[in-house]
Amino acid sequence: MQVISSKDNEQIKAIRKLKEKKYRDETNRYIVEGIKLVREAIEEKADIKMIVICEDCEEESLKNAKSPNSHIEQGLLYEIAKYECIYVTQKIFNLLSEVQTPQGILAVVEKGDNSENINYSEDIILVLDGIQDPGNLGTILRTADSANLKQIIISENTADPYSPKVVRSTMGAIFRINIIRSNNLIQTLQTIKKHKFEVIATSLETSESIYDIKYNKKVIVIGNEANGVSKEILDIADKKVKIPMLGKTESLNASVAAGILIYEYVRGKI
């Protein structure tokens, strides 16, 4: 078994480039790191192009996987063996990793077709207008997945959903949600409205509550952390709603607001 120890190796250079959005877009690939995410990628039948294992730290970081009492992890190792694997030194793995204490395993995954065709059969469509924080974006994707939403539309100026921090924050939801990036969100929303959806935008400048609407055939727009939903979208929104608050805080974190709205939809489904 060959262990790669040079940072000038062509495969290593190609993987390192995937830390940058430019190369993720060019290659249509991204990195998932850690035992849980690699397992989820396999279970969700993601298009895994390569698995990288840290040879130096394999025994420690994957010791549970090697344990004869850990059937799940033994199964994971069996599944990993079906893919192209490369082994690297700990020094090289640290160059590829984005975490402080890497578990010694990562995978290069194809983004998939990421179909731009919107599914109009769902009750609600979640739209993100300029979400910038990767942690917020990842949390929103994870929350949407928990409500069994299968798609999400993001504006051109929203953070890259395939950045390492977002991918980690999704906890596997990245494999189950079709992420549609809109180059013209106004135009996209106008098209959705033609399919008899109402656009609901969060805003502090309204007296209407999120509890005043029925969540069927609705587009829910969550705005930028600092500036909220853009004026252009507010202008075409069918309704503006806010989350009632009893305290002095005037606004909520974007991922918290999204979670409240998503679960108001869930509440109506159970």
Residue 205, pLDDT score: 86
Which segment, 2-6, 39-43, 113-117, is predicted with the most confidence on average?
A: 39-43
- Arithmetic mean of pLDDT, 92-119: 88
Q: Give the pLDDT score at 85.
A: 93
> Bridge partners of 260?
none
C-alpha separations of 40 from 33, 109, 115, 138, 176 in Å: 11, 12, 21, 16, 10
Of all residues in the chain, the percent with pLDDT exceeding 70 is: 92
pTM to 2 decimal places: 0.89
Average pLDDT, the chain: 90
Place of tokens 């599914």: 119
**Would you give the DSSP letter of residue 212?**
G
pLDDT in tens, 152-169: 999 999 999 999 999 999
Whether residue 68 is predicted with pLDDT greater than 80 in this model: the reply is: no
CB atoms within 10 A of CB 73: 17
| Alpha-carbon radius of gyration of the chain | 21
> ∠239-115-188 over CA atoms, to 5°?
30
Question: pLDDT confidence of 67, banded at 50, 70, 90?
Answer: very low
Pick 101 or 191 by higher pLDDT.
191
DSSP 84-129: -EEEE-HHHHHHH--SSS--SEEEEEE---------TTSSEEEEEE
Residue 69 has pLDDT above 90, yes or no: no
Q: Provide the angle, in degrees to the nearest 10, between the axes of the packed helices 254-267 and 134-146.
A: 10
Given a cut of 80, is residue 70 above it in pLDDT?
no
Region 239-261: mean pLDDT is 91
Average pLDDT over residues 215-237: 94
Cross-strand partners of 209: 242
Residue 1: pLDDT over 80? no
Domains in the chain, CATH or no CATH each = 3-110 (3.30.1330.30), 124-267 (3.40.1280.10)
